A = this chain, B = another copy of it.
Amino acid sequence: MPERKGPSRKGQPTLSRQAWADAALDALAERGVAAVAVEPLAAALGVTKGSFYWHFRTREDLLAAALERWHERETEEVIAALQRLDDPAVRLRRLFDIAFRDAVGGGAEAALLAATDSPVVAAAVRQVTTRRLAYLAELFTDLGVAPGAAEHAGLLAYTSYVGFFTLQRAEPAAVPRGPALDRYLDDLLAMLSAAAGARPSPAHPRQRGV
């Protein structure tokens, strides 16, 4: 995949596949999957839509390229950064900070996770989801949690995260900020630790019935 070949016509550098994919991912994060449209994107990039088809076979292809970029940026790079931290407890806390405070994905997440009507999007989302759940389970295992309980806790953590940023998009006013967010994360971590420590099968004692 050539990165860029140097200027060609009228001083404009020739467009690369990557430039299209990046523009597509930006549009997607800001205005949703429908905004990944060839003609408007071409206009924004200053070329005709015909030229698009030299780089990509279809619009779906462009989406797939943008999605690949998303996977790399918001999953692989985050995991790689976490793995540079020695203490798994620190890794978990850092992950929560990244996920809940820094709001990974900058808007692409919510747009993507539910746009599973598109087969390309569905495939990318499945991959990312599997990868993240596996990493979370690994993280809890590193903390000393038994495999089954670790998977369970990872699931709980991930659904909370997905729900959180979805809510943030749907109704930002309802999402905790500042000290309320601290308490929220505190409780979540505590809940997770309780769930992770629970024995797999029989009913376990609880502090108060709800």
Q: Range of interface residues on chain A?
A: 35 or more
Neighbouring B residues of A114 by C-beta, 8 Å: 110-115, 166, 169
Contact of A135 with B by CB under 8 A: no
Interface string of A28-72 (1 = CB under 8 A from B): 000111110000000000000000000000000000000000000
Contact of A80 with B by CB under 8 A: no
Given A117-B34, A190-B194, A193-B210, A167 contacting B171 (CB threshold 8 A): no
In the docked arrangement, what's the CA distance between A156 and B190, Å?
13
In the docked arrangement, what's the CA distance between A131 and B50, Å?
47
Counting every copy of the chain, the complex holds 2
B193 contacts A197, C-beta separation under 8 Å: no
Task: For chain A, residues 81 to 105, give those with C-beta under 8 angstroms from any C-beta of chain B.
Answer: 89, 92
A209 contacts B184, C-beta separation under 8 Å: no
Given A163-B161, A206-B193, A207-B194, A129 contacting B174 (CB threshold 8 A): yes
Task: Give the one of A126, A166, A179 with max B CB within 10 A.
Answer: A166
Interface string of A107-131 (1 = CB under 8 A from B): 0001111111100001001100110
Given A35-B117, A167-B162, A193 contacting B209 (CB threshold 8 A): yes
